[in-house]
Amino acid sequence: MVQTVTTTTDGSEMPTLGRLLALTVSGEVPAESVQFTDGGARLQWLGEGALEVTPARGQDLGLDLVLSAGVHGCEVIPIELLDRLIRAIARNEIRPRARLLLLFCNPPAMRQGLRRLGQDLNRLFCGKHAASEPGDETRRAAQLEEWVAAFFQEPDRRRWHYDLHSAMRASVLPQFAVCPWVDGREVAPQSLTRLQHAAVDAVLFQEKPSATFSAHTATRHGAEAFTLEMAEAPEGVWPQCLDEFLQTARGWIEAVEPVRDESHHRPLLKFRLAREIIKRSDQFVLRLPADIQNFTPLLPGTLLAEDEQGVHWLAEEQDARILFPVSDVAIGERAGLIVVPRE
């Protein structure tokens, strides 16, 4: 067990549950599973890496918000972003007016700084874990689904989920979102406005089902859900867009809707998936520079990858761009996406 109050570097105190990241990485169990901020917000430790926050009496504005990070344990920037927000809540610097479920999703991988220990956790949601080889990630996917189902059980409330990631490579468009496909649903303009205020440069709209965490909350619980790929911080230099995101996320926690003003924000580019590059054998080779940036334009005819039996991938689409190129994936998994502008 650990102490119930933590003294911060500036000499102030905050509830120990505000140290959720440190508790998660160390595997410690807090002495108290329920604590309160000075402003009256209730913090409840649900289990390893999971914190539920209830606004102070009379402050709940009817929003249920999930913020998650660490689905891939090596993605440091989103983990740090969520840690900063949790600490600010615990110190009463942010006063929640939304119910919050705050999740560090893959503690074993986070402890080792690895993307995954076995299977890719972000391919095991929507019940896919039940049909997969049992392991740490399948068990964790099931647990995360249970926490989310319990959190979203109250009717007639708005439901949002932002799953924070980082692509682990530079990007022509530094921050972007992936919008999961939901049959028959159109994304509301206000949802895109929120992304613009969070310094998001582009949105990739999926056009078929997937098994990501955001796809799960969108399809199973009707949440407005996005995967957010955050900017990198090369050599420890924190770019302005990450500060802009933090400021906007504070507004989400306080249930403040941004005002749409196109003159003060960069345009939000929209893309759709044209094709996936699938690794089919151990002979698979990406024919792109190792340091190629996400959203790099591809000239028609560019050789992208080769595989056994003479299989090769060429850029064919007009205005195509490459996204998530990586050869170190399991056979049958995607090694890159070819995306094009969405009409």
SS3 percent helix, strand, coil of the chain, rounded to 5, is 30, 25, 45
The answer to whether residues 61 and 111 belong to one domain is yes
How far is it, in rounded angstroms, from Cα 110 to Cα 49? 11
The answer to whether residues 34 and 101 belong to one domain is yes
Q: Which of 137, 145, 224, 229 is catalytic?
A: 229
Query: Are the C-beta atoms of 79 and 103 separated by less than 8 Å?
Result: no
Does 269 reside within a domain?
Answer: no
Query: Are the C-beta atoms of 89 and 123 separated by less than 8 Å?
Result: no
Tokens (6 digits) for 239? 């770019």
Tens-place pLDDT, residues 216-255: 999 999 999 999 999 988 877 889 999 999 999 999 999 9
Predicted local distance difference test score (pLDDT) of residue 206: 94
Tens-place pLDDT, residues 249-287: 999 999 988 766 655 567 899 999 999 999 999 999 999
How far is it, in rounded angstroms, from Cα 173 to Cα 280? 29
How far is it, in rounded angstroms, from Cα 63 to Cα 158? 5
Predicted local distance difference test score (pLDDT) of residue 263: 56
| Lookup result for tokens 């490579």 | 169
CATH code at position 334: 2.40.50.630
Does 186 reside within a domain?
Answer: yes
Does 81 reside within a domain?
Answer: yes
The answer to whether residues 225 and 77 belong to one domain is yes
Predicted local distance difference test score (pLDDT) of residue 262: 59
157 HSE (CA, 13 A, CB side): 19
At 289, give phi and psi (nearest 5°). Answer: -55, 140
What are the residues whose beta carbons fall under 8 Å from the beta carbon of 255, sequence distance 6 or more?
A: 61, 62, 63, 97, 98
Q: Give the domain-ending residue among 264, 290, 308.
A: 264
The answer to whether residues 191 and 301 belong to one domain is no
Tokens (6 digits) for 182? 């939901």
Does 46 reside within a domain?
Answer: yes
236: helix, coil or strand? helix
At 78, give phi and psi (nearest 5°). Answer: -65, -35
The answer to whether residues 280 and 260 belong to one domain is no
What are the residues whose beta carbons fall under 8 Å from the beta carbon of 343, sequence distance 6 or more?
A: none
What are the residues whose beta carbons fall under 8 Å from the beta carbon of 113, sequence distance 6 or more?
A: 73, 74
The answer to whether residues 142 and 252 belong to one domain is yes
192: helix, coil or strand? helix
* Residue 32 annotated as catalytic: no
Does 191 reside within a domain?
Answer: yes
The answer to whether residues 241 and 166 belong to one domain is yes
Mean pLDDT of all residues in the chain? Answer: 93
Does 163 reside within a domain?
Answer: yes
Q: Give the domain-ending residue among 264, 284, 303.
A: 264
149 HSE (CA, 13 A, CB side): 10
Q: How many residues does the chain have?
A: 343
The answer to whether residues 38 and 144 belong to one domain is yes
> How do the pLDDT tens digits run along the chain, 343 residues long?
444 656 554 545 789 999 999 999 999 999 999 999 999 999 999 999 999 999 999 999 999 999 999 999 999 999 999 999 999 999 999 999 999 999 999 999 999 999 999 999 999 999 899 888 898 999 999 999 999 999 999 999 999 999 999 988 899 999 999 999 999 989 999 999 999 999 999 999 999 999 999 999 999 999 999 999 999 888 778 899 999 999 999 999 999 887 666 555 678 999 999 999 999 999 999 999 999 999 999 999 999 999 999 999 999 999 999 999 998 888 998 999 999 999 7
The answer to whether residues 317 and 241 belong to one domain is no
How far is it, in rounded angstroms, from Cα 240 to Cα 247? 11
Does 159 reside within a domain?
Answer: yes
CA proximity to 321, closest of 343, 299, 302, 296: 296
Tokens (6 digits) for 84? 């900063």
The answer to whether residues 60 and 145 belong to one domain is yes
Note the Cα 135 to chain centre separation in Å. Answer: 22
How far is it, in rounded angstroms, from Cα 251 to Cα 137? 32
Share of the chain above pLDDT 70, in %: 94
What residue numbers bound the domain in which 319 lies?
274-341
CATH code at position 170: 3.40.630.10
The answer to whether residues 220 and 99 belong to one domain is yes
Q: Give the domain-ending residue among 264, 293, 322.
A: 264
The answer to whether residues 246 and 278 belong to one domain is no
Angle at 247 between CA 62 and CA 322, to 5 degrees: 100
Does 139 reside within a domain?
Answer: yes
How far is it, in rounded angstroms, from Cα 149 to Cα 25? 25
Question: What's the number of domains the chain is made of?
Answer: 2
